[in-house]
Structure 1
Amino acid sequence: MHALIAIDSFKNSMTSIRANQIVADQFSAHGITSTQVAIADGGEGTVAAWLANQTGGKAITTATVDLAQQPIQATYGYFADEHLAVIEVAEASGIQFLTPELTPLDTNTYGTGLLIKDAIAHGAQKIILGLGGSGTVDGGAGILRALGYRFFDANNSELAMTGADLARVQRIDAQQVLPALSAVAFVSAADVTNPLTGEQGAARIFGPQKGLNAELIATYDDAMAHYMTVATGAVSSEEGDGAAGGIGFALRYFLHAQVQSGFQLIAQVSHLAEQVQSADLIISGEGQVDDQSFMGKVPIQISQLAQAAGKPCYLFVGRQKGANATFSEQGVTAVLPIVDQVMTLEQAMASGPDNLTRMADRLARIISASRQ
């Protein structure tokens, strides 16, 4: 019996790599061999997954700033032979840097732009930018500033381009843009299709979870529309522009990025479909599965691959919302919540590895007993 283990990260509890190893160890104790695939969808863990699945890469750590412009160290992946950099927006501009005092009015993605600039200095000619887990709604203006674009208000004063400056910008200057930028191909790794503005736009859909006050959402959306008009001459509804608080727009319009599914990129580099075909059963999972899981979340995309290959698929999760029958329709044999006693969310995250160990042992015993 051979298992393919490809579990997405349990946010603030376990990385994909650690969760995979926990399950593999328990399966091995019961005579079940396994192959592990580090998995991600463009958010947290994308760089680690890429480095785990493709040889020849190294992690580069460099100085940058967080979304409030405080100095930090951040890491990205670089593959010298391919002149390829893989960068997570969440690494320097992630939601984990938010505090109750910070709102999108105060933050921007300048730190992510510094990571891009560093990768280009290392020789990157292609940059894959994972857009998941961002903590800003700046339309990607911070990234653009770090790369040499300059933004001016009506008095010709240069703007820092936090969210508060979106409504003030009157002119965008490209004369000091990094010369090497024109030779770099960008890929936006995201599964979000929201436009930049409107009812499904960055401010209304993603603003509240990043601290945007409900009373300011309409005003902020107007400011984003103004910023887009200054940049392009009109407000359009391009799919994916709203990803990561509008970074999708900056990448598409200014950096001519190609948009690809974050999960599909990792699936290609890890040869996931072939691995599914070679396994007897598939293991995936993440912190929570619910109705949003059916909109392209990693575990369901993996269960669909398992279903197409006629293989059973089990999901280890911290919490399940939704009916078992609905998951079954998507190729899930069983959803197995790992929390087996009453505890707070904080306790569940802290004890995630222990909880997963117990549940993996239980499933391994069931599988072993069924083979006898």
Structure 2
Amino acid sequence: MTENIRCIPMRVVAAPDSFKGSLSAKDAARAMERGVLSACADAVVVRKPIADGGEGTVDAVLEAVPEGLRLRAAVSGPLNAALEAEYAMLPDGTAVFELAAASGLTLLPAEDLRPLEASTHGTGELIRAALDRGCRQIVIGLGGSATTDGGTGLLRALGCRFLDASGDELGPGGAELLRLDRIDRTGLHPRLAEVAVTLCCDVTNPLCGPEGAAAVYGPQKGADTRQVAQLDHALERFADVLEATTGSDEYRSLPGGGAAGGTGAGLAALLGAALKPGFGLLAELTNLEAAIAGADLVLTGEGRTDNQTLNGKVPVGVARLARRCGVPVVVLSGGIGPGAEGLYGERITAIFGLPDKPMELREAMNGAEALLERAAGNVARLFAAGQSR
């Protein structure tokens, strides 16, 4: 047990992302809270775990909005296996989903990835359950999908039909889009006309082409070179039919249209969904800026901090809010890589790695919770000492 130091009561916001493979954002925020209180028992810690639209989105929203409900529904997984997936329903009627909960890559064993067949149908079933409960707004985090079907599985679950030249419905998966001839939206769930759909998206890849969904993300979903080409041609065909259906060619090159295997483009075209940066949208849902405005210190963090963090990831988003409020920010990171020093340009006060001695990656990941708690306590002690001078 460490001894509390005497310190001026301070207000600390704990706003971490998940430490992938180690800690959820929710657990990371609680570890930060314990660390701060171990150093300064009189401190007030406000937990605001946050996400950028991927893993941990539902947990982060429910931790920050405790009046919300965690709901579950029986749905189909990316290869049609039955599973139970969850989503959040907030008091204002906003339903928050992670596409990965029903259609995610982590739901499949590495030896059973089937990139041509994987479908987003289960996510559509989850959304249908929320519509039937009367939700008034839909927010979908698009990270972590196993799919490259343009969101057609999701849309099919909501009543849209994807037909070949003979008028027969296509089967599941992105490869089937090579046969797509027309889209019939007349059977869409009637409540979709009343509900705004927003997509949390932090990539700018278009639907198809060399920077598109198949070319960039297909390999991590199990696609070999031949399958990547096949899926890209299928998404090209999808873009052609979207243009014929909507009268616009914008969805072929829409920034973020390639998110979640083309789900961004499919939902933008056929549901009128808006694509927004995930962090900003979730910060708004959780009233993060208001919490930061009344704080003395903000702690944030992630599994690895490097040059990729500057591309709209959580620590930078938190730092930009804190800068507007004039509050210092400290990043506690599982690992620090090349380019992390660029974060100082975002007015981040300091960046600390969690390991406090030489250790293997697996040891650091297994001990992440204790390491994060200790690091948060050390930062709180240092900050309190500066305040008391």
- Shorter-chain-normalised TM-score: which range? over 0.9
Q: Is the 8 A contact 1:67 1:93 kept in 2?
A: yes
Change (3 A) 1:21 1:162: same
Of 215, 218, 221, the residue aligned with 1:207 is: 218
- C-alpha offsets along residues 182-225 of structure 1, whole Å, 9 cap, x if unaligned? 22221112222221112221112221222221343233212101
**TM superposition shift of 1:324:** 5.2
Q: For 1:169 and 1:347, locate their aligned partners in 2 and report how far apart those are by CA, in whole Å.
A: 49
Change (3 A) 1:343 1:55: closer
- Per the alignment, residue 109 of structure 1 pairs with 120
**TM superposition shift of 1:51:** 2.0
Deviates more, 1:143-152 or 1:105-114: 143-152
| SS of equivalent to 2:302 | strand
Q: Is the 8 A contact 1:202 1:245 kept in 2?
A: yes
Q: For 2:185 and 2:342, locate their aligned partners in 1 and report how far apart those are by CA, in whole Å.
A: 50
Change (3 A) 1:325 1:162: closer
- C-alpha offsets along residues 144-191 of structure 1, whole Å, 9 cap, x if unaligned? 111112223344432223122121222323343323332222111222
Change (3 A) 1:341 1:170: farther
Correspondence 1:233-252 to 2 at 5 A: 233=244, 236-252=252-268
Change (3 A) 1:340 1:135: farther
**TM superposition shift of 1:140:** 0.4
Of 34, 38, 52, the residue aligned with 1:41 is: 52
Question: Is 1:254 paired with 2:260?
Answer: no
The residue type paired with residue 82 of structure 1 is D
Correspondence 1:143-154 to 2 at 5 A: 143-154=154-165
Question: Is 1:338 paired with 2:347?
Answer: no
Correspondence 1:1-372 to 2 at 5 A: 1-31=10-40, 32-54=43-65, 56-79=67-90, 82-98=92-108, 99-233=110-244, 236-323=252-339, 325-370=341-386, 371=388
Q: For 1:333 and 1:194, locate their aligned partners in 2 and report how far apart those are by CA, in whole Å.
A: 32
Q: For 1:63 and 1:216, locate their aligned partners in 2 and report how far apart those are by CA, in whole Å.
A: 31
- C-alpha offsets along residues 57-97 of structure 1, whole Å, 9 cap, x if unaligned? 21111100111111100111113x53321111111111212
Change (3 A) 1:111 1:343: farther
Change (3 A) 1:177 1:68: same
Q: Is the 8 A contact 1:58 1:77 kept in 2?
A: yes
Q: Is the 8 A contact 1:151 1:161 kept in 2?
A: no
Deviates more, 1:30-39 or 1:287-296: 30-39
Q: For 2:204 and 2:66, locate their aligned partners in 1 and report how far apart those are by CA, in whole Å.
A: 31
The residue type paired with residue 292 of structure 1 is Q
Change (3 A) 1:197 1:16: same
Change (3 A) 1:94 1:352: same
Q: Is the 8 A contact 1:306 1:313 kept in 2?
A: yes
**TM superposition shift of 1:341:** 4.2
TM, length-normalised to structure 1: 0.93
- C-alpha offsets along residues 292-322 of structure 1, whole Å, 9 cap, x if unaligned? 1111001111122333433321111111112
Q: For 1:310 and 1:86, locate their aligned partners in 2 and report how far apart those are by CA, in whole Å.
A: 30
> Which ranges in structure 2 are unaligned for 5 or more consecutive residues?
1-9
**TM superposition shift of 1:134:** 1.8
Q: Is the 8 A contact 1:6 1:37 kept in 2?
A: yes
Q: Is the 8 A contact 1:108 1:136 kept in 2?
A: yes
- Aligned residues, how many? 371
Q: For 1:267 and 1:178, locate their aligned partners in 2 and report how far apart those are by CA, in whole Å.
A: 29
| SS of equivalent to 2:50 | coil
- CA RMSD, 1 decimal: 2.1
Deviates more, 1:118-127 or 1:210-219: 210-219
Change (3 A) 1:346 1:103: farther
TM, length-normalised to structure 2: 0.89
Q: For 1:269 and 1:216, locate their aligned partners in 2 and report how far apart those are by CA, in whole Å.
A: 38
Change (3 A) 1:331 1:71: same
Deviates more, 1:197-206 or 1:302-311: 302-311
Q: Give aligned-pair identity as a percent.
A: 38
**TM superposition shift of 1:258:** 2.0
Q: For 1:108 and 1:153, locate their aligned partners in 2 and report how far apart those are by CA, in whole Å.
A: 18
The residue type paired with residue 86 of structure 1 is V
Q: Is the 8 A contact 2:297 2:329 kept in 1?
A: yes
Q: For 2:72 and 2:326, locate their aligned partners in 1 and report how far apart those are by CA, in whole Å.
A: 42
- C-alpha offsets along residues 23-80 of structure 1, whole Å, 9 cap, x if unaligned? 111111211432221211111222222222235421111100111111100111113x
